[in-house]
Amino acid sequence: MTSSQPPQQARPNSEPGRQNLDPHIDRYAARTAGMTASEIRALFAVASRPEVVSLAGGMPNLAALPLESLSHQMAEIVAQDGLTALQYGSAQGIPTLREQICEVMAMEGITAHPDDVVVTVGSQMGLDMVTRLFCDPGDVVIAEGPSYVGALGSFAAYQAQVVHVAMDDDGLVPDNLREALSRAREQGRRVKCLYTIPNFHNPAGVTLSPERRAEIVEICAEHDVLIIEDNPYGLLGFDGQTYPSLRSMAPENVVYLGSFSKTFASGLRVGWVLAPHAVREKLVLAAESATLCPPTLNQLVVSKYLATHDWKGQIKTFRENYRERRDAMLSALEQHMPAGCTWTRPEGGFYVWVTVPEGVDTKAMLPRAVTARVAYASGTGFYADGFGSRQMRLSYCYPTPERIREGVRRLAGVLESEMELMRTFGSVTTRTVSGPQFPSPDTA
């Protein structure tokens, strides 16, 4: 039979074998096909019950903030400067705050001009803008494997293809990066950027060694690949140590993303991009089309906080709190985890990356863990290509040390019974493949 009907386009959002009840299904742009909710989001309602110890979330522990004096300051801003604070502002951000951001970055060896700083609604917006500026559909972004779930979401949204490069305890391995770049070139694929989290990696917990930094900067320059350096945790080294930023080594080839989410208050949604001077203009245009301007009130709150509080002392307090929690997690892992499990030992930041024995599938195990009143983020969400089924991310940032110890004890029990079943029946789970996901507050 011949037909004059146009060929049917594959629906970007329909899942085979599943009736889709969304009446807008044929309207979505093709790029939405890669948008799926993070797996923990489905379990979030259960996982956030008070009896469940959540080691899944990346929420900063804000209990140490001086709330009373902050509330006075906020009231003061509105009373004294309300007509500015509640008005639109510049797309690039308030000049005084941009100057202060340069002082914050100086703590990690970055010399920057406030003109090259663009204030964003969290560094997540920076990721979105940078991807929008640099990635056409099909362009390759190289990222560590595993990588930050929110970055993978941005890359998927712009249909960039992620190629993961393996890390070891010293972070991204330069030889693996070289290999990935050569392979992409042989395949005729265009590599646009390297996306990297050099300090206290989310989710892997490792830090790029100082020796490797210069080498990675050099490799990227040789291959004409832009570096996106994402650094929300750099000031949260437990011994107060900081590392030379990639940006300080190659100002013209690094777009640097910073944030006040982990060092002050994530709910204010204030981050920034420090761009090579030539990129700044386009970045401001992208920011303008995304939000017109970042929230003026929130910027003033951050600016006043930096001007009047002992913010370095506050970061020290955060570091001490997180160090205590990290210690609690590492000692509980040591005490309870079954033989065959391994994990990273972070020197800062929020996360431990755990590898479980062959045959255990952390995504399939998650509902059983939640039933046992503990939640974690399974590894598959941190890869764009379905890897990570033997990994999980444990966050120690939010729960108390007692809850962390109890959570790890419960998790170890779930793993023991999973492994016992495996010994009895062989593998108890089927391997699941997932793509990039979009973060919820519980997986960020």
Ligand X SMILES: Cc1ncc(COP(=O)(O)O)c(C=O)c1O
- The binder of ligand X chosen from 57, 146, 150, 407 (CB under 6 A): 150
Q: Is 130 in the site for ligand X (CB under 6 A)?
A: no
Q: How many residues bind ligand X (CB under 6 A)?
A: 15
Taking the CA atoms of 290, 246, 307 and 279 in sequence, report the sign of the dihedral they define: negative
| Residue in the block written with tokens 């089927």 | 430
Kindly state the smallest distance separating residue 65's Cβ from ligand X, in Å: 16
Closer CB to ligand X, 13 or 259, in the complex? 259
Taking the CA atoms of 227, 231, 235 and 240 in sequence, report the sign of the dihedral they define: negative
The torsion angles phi and psi of 234, rounded to 5 degrees, stand at: -55, -30
Task: List Cα–Cα distances, 117 to 111, 219, 430, in angstroms.
Answer: 12, 26, 47
DSSP string, 195-257: EE--SS-TTT-----HHHHHHHHHHHHHTT-EEEEE-SSTT-BTTS-----HHHH-TTTEEEE
- The binder of ligand X chosen from 55, 110, 142, 148 (CB under 6 A): 148
Q: Is 232 in the site for ligand X (CB under 6 A)?
A: yes
CA pair distance 181, 165, nearest whole angstrom: 10
- The binder of ligand X chosen from 131, 196, 199, 261 (CB under 6 A): 261
Q: Is 444 in the site for ligand X (CB under 6 A)?
A: yes
Kindly state the smallest distance separating residue 86's Cβ from ligand X, in Å: 23
Residues 6+ apart with CB under 8 A from 395: 55, 56, 57, 58, 350, 351, 377
Kindly state the smallest distance separating residue 151's Cβ from ligand X, in Å: 6
Helix (H) or strand (E) holding 53: strand 53-54
Kindly state the smallest distance separating residue 350's Cβ from ligand X, in Å: 8
Helix (H) or strand (E) holding 140: strand 140-145
Name which of 55, 100, 140, 143 is nearest 258 in CA terms: 100
Q: What x-and-dash track marks residues 196-215 binding ligand X by CB under 6 A? A: -x----x-------------
Closer CB to ligand X, 434 or 440, in the complex? 440
| Residue in the block written with tokens 């400067």 | 81
Q: Is 89 in the site for ligand X (CB under 6 A)?
A: no
Near ligand X by CB under 6 A, which window of 70-78, 258-266, 288-296, 422-430?
258-266
415: its two tokens: 């793993």
CA 287 to chain centroid = 20
Near ligand X by CB under 6 A, which window of 6-14, 26-34, 259-267, 324-332?
259-267
Closer CB to ligand X, 208 or 414, in the complex? 208
Kindly state the smallest distance separating residue 443's Cβ from ligand X, in Å: 9
CB 321 within 8 A of CB 399: no
Q: What x-and-dash track marks residues 47-66 binding ligand X by CB under 6 A? A: -----------x--------
Kindly state the smallest distance separating residue 215's Cβ from ligand X, in Å: 22
Near ligand X by CB under 6 A, which window of 36-44, 121-129, 218-226, 386-394?
121-129
Kindly state the smallest distance separating residue 45's Cβ from ligand X, in Å: 21
Kindly state the smallest distance separating residue 185's Cβ from ligand X, in Å: 28
Q: Is 122 in the site for ligand X (CB under 6 A)?
A: yes
Give the strand pairing for 140-145 and 191-196: parallel
Near ligand X by CB under 6 A, which window of 122-130, 299-307, 368-376, 427-435?
122-130
| Residues making contact with ligand X (CB under 6 A) | 58, 122-124, 148, 150, 197, 202, 230, 232, 259, 261, 266, 271, 444
